[in-house]
Structure 1
Amino acid sequence: MSEFSILRQQAGLTVTEAALRTGYSERTVCRWDKGETQPRKAVLDLLRAIKPGGGQNSTPPAFTFIDLFAGIGGLRRGFEPLGGKCVFTCEWDRYSQKTYMANFPQDDHEIAGDIRKVESKDIPAHDLLLAGFPCQPFSIAGVSKKNALNRPHGFACEAQGTLFFDVARIIRDHQPKALVLENVKNLVNHDRGHTFRVIYDVLTKELGYHVEKRVIDAKSWVPQHRERIFIVGFREKNGFSFDDMEVPDPLNGPKLGSILHRSGDSPEKPFTEKDGQAAAKYTLSVHLWGYLRDYAEKHRQKGNGFGFGLFGPSDVARTLSARYYKDGSEILILREGNVPRRLTPRECARLMGFDGRGRPPMVIPVSDTQAYRQFGNAVVVPVVEAVARHMEPWLLEAVRSGAGATRKAAIA
């Protein structure tokens, strides 16, 4: 995808609209879009100025933050609109890096890869740490046994060997004013609650943060049942609580029809046909549809709940997963009298809240397979925005007061 195409989409312009805004012919703009020729620098600068937030770089940030296990930038999208500036990004997957860079092209820093190879001293000072960290199994060894063997436990042992250890290491060395961690709902119950106890004890007892948590279902904002835990910590006790966070009534939440392609919409290759409907390639093959039905029936007879999920415009979908690219079985779109279809990647962007009212369309520069994986692993943007707005008064006050601003002397 050409730089012009990326900037055009971020500015929310069609090829025709870009031609009108730049004063060039539509044919010339099409060639820029395909990367066949390169536009003048002035054209690219114009698109950057049109892009939302494009002319605000001179304003001092309200706070700085880092984006760990960044994925495609879902957590960042929630906090950047508050006036925050991302000063460091870490994401190991190269395809996710590609999508991230396509949607945040103005960054003045490169994306770091493996967090285990990043030293704390190489990370800039920051006010807020964001991390949608993977939850790998924690050690099951009991503290009492380790005490009997005179071996260390807690931060020095039980978190060792997991990616949470690296998050804790960075928190310890930089002492940001606040942190936001996001994970699957089952983090609370994993290993009979042991995993979350270790995380909570590390954050509170070892690192000294005041921590609140809440499991939030995204179906209040998007037509998808998706529960995730958000862990918020502040270096200084300030009265922050999730108890009074406003969450819209999920019974009145949006339905799938609000994110599906419709006849008459502007066409977008490769996701839709000329009439705006989803492209034919997203319809399941007769063979796959038969297999899914047989599989579901087999498990129904055994009393199991396994099977596909079939949804219409007035429904709320199951959770979109990273395996969606395999057969799309958890969210199949009903087509009366026809074989059902998968969601397109553009519809997934809408389902996860990356696209929506008031936002330019997200740039999707990767294959469908990679896009499905990325959206299935992502956070729902409107949920993060709600958490960010709820945190905002306490976060800005922490920045103003300078609480916890000093970095450890060891990394100064």
Structure 2
Amino acid sequence: MQVLQPVIDELIEQSRDADNHKQEEELCLLKKVLEIYDQKVVAEVLRAVSGSNWTRETINRWVNGKLTNKRLVDVEIKMLKGMLPSPPAHHGKYAFRFIDLFAGIGGIRSGFEAIGGQCVFTSEWNKYAVRTYKANWYCDPDQHKFNEDIRDITQSDRPDLSDEEAAAHIRATLPEHDVLLAGFPCQPFSLAGVSKKNALGRAHGFACETQGTLFFDVARIIDAKRPAIFVLENVKNLKSHDKGNTFRIIMETLAGLGYEIADAAVTGASDPKIIDGKHFLPQHRERIVLVGFRRDLNLHQDFTLRALDALYPQRRPTFGELLEPTVDAKYILTPTLWKYLYNYAKKHQAKGNGFGYGLVDPANPASVARTLSARYYKDGAEILIDRGWDKALGELDFNDAENQVRRPRRLTPRECARLMGFETVEGKPFRIPVSDTQAYRQFGNSVVVPAFAAVAKLLEEKIKLAVKKR
């Protein structure tokens, strides 16, 4: 026994080390899940799958090192892993690399990952959007970086640094990539954003120091990293903001960096750079899309966004098909709110204005909703689902019991996910780990996913060629 004791001691120590390592892995898994979901939700899930006594306090104590002997059982580990996104099917066999700036909840990323891309860097400052992003998109711990404030990368808030020093920092910090995606902040350029800032006496566009100038952070990155291709997205009103000066400066800046912009010379109503989501889903949502090709690579030949027409779905889902069969009564407008919206619309109709709510008939296969906005959580006015209310804008009795039963309702967050293309009715559900208010803001700030998936598909051969020329 004495002869074997050293061997036994070593085996015991190895077993302890392995056990400690496993506990660390379990704690790391829990912490990843807690980056996305509230402690209360996680505790409820763990209790449901194992019947254990998990509580918010238990989780908090373990995470803070006050329960050193706490462990997870196999079914709990499996459940927690299931709450995190899985790697894409082509994980480890990527065709190209891309970065996702001002990423929101990943609407543009989706299409580029679908054609074989690997996202190596994501920047998004809104903590709630980050939670939704991490709940749905796999971020390789070894080959992906997450950033909150893009100015930490570009150093644009450091007046003491020269342009050369800032560019060196960008090159040292950002991973190499073939494609740059950026839905740079649009509030300073949107109709709603400009109106709001005018009312508050604030600057907008490039004069808005907090958001408008963030385009130049994108330009700094493009200049420093020289990606083969970029895709920039913004609201349609970007073209007309400040009598066209804002858009002119953007186009001149990008051209000056050595890039050819697809369909740059085309203007007017037929501008292919303006893409309407209604061709893919029943929502009128126009966005300007700037696709840039590095001039020295000669990738821009024969490329036009007009070719998107061929990628429109043969059959667009109807508005009614996107709705859930039953919803909570909380989504039905209260009598007070509905009366206010109704009378507000009637007042403006009398003045010849177009202001008012947007009532959508789900039974009409041709119905197309207005643009879902980030303010949807306030009253849902732009997209209300018709439940049979008498739509004549006359003098109606709001005490009529029959009409009150048929008050319109707003979309649920799940229906917003479908209207934006983040999920289909039959497909994998899009995870929404945030409150309804935050979810409405996130979907209202996002893009129509299949529209940008079509842009990615249109670019697929150009990206392959860029990789060959790398």
Q: Which bracket does the TM-score occupy, shorter chain normalised? A: 0.7 to 0.9
Give distance in 2, aligned partners of 1:32 and 1:129: 46
**Which of 434, 453, 467 is residue 385 of structure 1 equivalent to?**
453
**Which of 260, 263, 266 is residue 210 of structure 1 equivalent to?**
260
Q: Does 1:287 align with 2:326?
A: no
Residue pairs, 1:228-377, within 5 angstroms: 228-235=287-294, 236-238=297-299, 239=301, 240-247=303-310, 253-262=316-325, 277-313=326-362, 314=364, 315-336=367-388, 337=403, 338-356=406-424, 359-377=427-445
Whether the aligned pair in 2 keeps the contact of 1:292 and 1:329 (CA below 8 Å) is yes
**Which of 125, 128, 148 is residue 113 of structure 1 equivalent to?**
148
Q: CA deviation at 1:60?
A: 2.9
Q: CA deviation at 1:302?
A: 1.2
Per-residue CA deviations over 1:7-41 (Å, capped at 9, x if unaligned) read 9xxxxxxxxxxxxxxxxx99536879998995527
The AA in structure 1 aligned to 2:457 is R
Asked which structure has the greater RCO (Cα within 8 Å, sep 6+), the reply is 1
In structure 2, the CA distance between the partners of 1:249 and 1:136, relative to structure 1 (3 Å rule), is: closer
Q: CA deviation at 1:246?
A: 2.8
In structure 2, the CA distance between the partners of 1:45 and 1:330, relative to structure 1 (3 Å rule), is: closer
Give distance in 2, aligned partners of 1:48 and 1:377: 24
Give distance in 2, aligned partners of 1:64 and 1:161: 27
Name stretches of at least 5 consecutive residues in structure 1 with no aligned partner. Answer: 8-24, 139-154, 263-276, 403-412
In structure 2, the CA distance between the partners of 1:33 and 1:177, relative to structure 1 (3 Å rule), is: farther
Whether the aligned pair in 1 keeps the contact of 2:99 and 2:119 (CA below 8 Å) is yes
Q: CA deviation at 1:255?
A: 1.9
Corresponding residue for residue 394 of structure 1:
462
Could you tell which deviates more after superposition, 107-116 or 244-253? 244-253
Per-residue CA deviations over 1:145-198 (Å, capped at 9, x if unaligned) read xxxxxxxxxx9xx9x970000000000000001100011111111112111111
In structure 2, the CA distance between the partners of 1:307 and 1:357, relative to structure 1 (3 Å rule), is: closer
Corresponding residue for residue 227 of structure 1:
286
Q: Secondary structure at the match of 1:245?
A: helix
The AA in structure 2 aligned to 1:94 is K
Q: CA deviation at 1:134?
A: 1.5
Q: CA deviation at 1:54?
A: 5.1
Q: CA deviation at 1:220?
A: 1.3
Give distance in 2, aligned partners of 1:356 and 1:195: 37
Q: CA deviation at 1:237?
A: 2.4
Name stretches of at least 5 consecutive residues in structure 2 with no aligned partner. Answer: 1-28, 34-45, 60-71, 155-169, 190-205, 264-272, 389-402
Give distance in 2, aligned partners of 1:348 and 1:34: 32
The AA in structure 1 aligned to 2:251 is Y
Give distance in 2, aligned partners of 1:82 and 1:331: 32
Whether the aligned pair in 2 keeps the contact of 1:67 and 1:131 (CA below 8 Å) is yes
Q: CA deviation at 1:212?
A: 1.1
Residue pairs, 1:5-24, within 5 angstroms: none
Per-residue CA deviations over 1:246-274 (Å, capped at 9, x if unaligned) read 35669963321111011xxxxxxxxxxxx
Q: Does 1:187 align with 2:246?
A: no
In the superposition, the TM-score normalised over structure 2's length comes to 0.67
The AA in structure 2 aligned to 1:209 is Y
Give distance in 2, aligned partners of 1:361 and 1:32: 29
Instruction: Tell me how large the CA RMSD over aligned residues is.
Output: 3.2
The AA in structure 2 aligned to 1:282 is Y
Whether the aligned pair in 2 keeps the contact of 1:216 and 1:227 (CA below 8 Å) is yes
Give distance in 2, aligned partners of 1:168 and 1:356: 35
